[in-house]
Amino acid sequence: MGNAEQASNEIIHYLPQHIDFLGATVHMQTLYMSWFACIICVVVLGGIACGAKLIPGRAQCMLEMLVEWLCGLMEGNMGKEGRRVFAPFLLTLFFYIFVSNEIGLLPQVGGHMVHFTSPTNDINVAFALALTVMAVNYLVGIYRNGFGFFGHFVKPFAAMLPLNMVEEIAKPVTMSLRLFGNILAGEILLIVLYQLAPWVAPDAWVFFSLCVGFLQAFVFTMLAIVNFAPIFKHEH
């Protein structure tokens, strides 16, 4: 099947660029959209922060409310020290995932030539984010509590080690699959609705997808907070 014929049968039309790097295939569409999400985060959040005023405008007020809400969740689960340590990482994680989730709702440009897709509709991105959370969890846990941090694997007794190991492996898998599945399904359904009822259903679904994108960013961040909480159990 030729590239043109294959593209015509796709539901989501990706940019065709793929490059082989050290034996691995790099999907440039995902890379471009990831860069795009980062640029949006830096420009929008940086612009609001640089233009902060004593009497905040609407954008600054909404951002401050969101940040305070997330920090309150961190402090409630990890204590003040946990919030201090992880707030920069978790806030960055939340805003990146939120913006990435919403990029797929942008309209196509140039017909089927360019279609904005969420980086998080790629299982590689979702799984990499989950692995990053787990890696940070282990590194900070060892730094603050030594290798005794891994003592929870043999609690309440040593025979629980296999089950606790399975649970630990399942954490990044379930986190990534939940994010990936919801975002990909939402984009596919949105495109199908545009084809079936281009004037009514898509507008309602876009609003619903905005809420889903926010909810999935919150769920992922909340799961990260829950994973980090045991690090500070002796301090909180």
Distances (CA, A) of 21 to 3, 25, 144, 183: 21, 6, 37, 27
pLDDT at 23 over 80: no
Residue 228, pLDDT score? 94
**Closest Cα to residue 101, out of 209, 197, 231?**
209
Q: Look up residue 115 and give its two tokens.
A: 């279609």
Q: How high is the pLDDT of residue 53?
A: 85
What token pair was written down for 189? 């359904």
Task: For the chain, give the longest Cα–Cα distance.
Answer: 61
CA dihedral 223, 178, 92, 79 (to 10 degrees): -10
**pTM for this one?**
0.84
Note whether 55 and 44 are within 8 A (CB).
no
Q: Is the pLDDT of residue 28 over 70?
A: yes
- Which tens digit of pLDDT belongs to each residue from 167-212? 889 999 999 999 999 998 888 887 777 777 766 666 777 788 888 9
Give the residue, 10 or 144, on which the prediction is more confident.
144
CA proximity to 34, closest of 24, 22, 45, 26: 26
pLDDT tens, 75-120?
A: 999 999 999 999 999 999 999 999 999 998 876 655 555 578 899 9
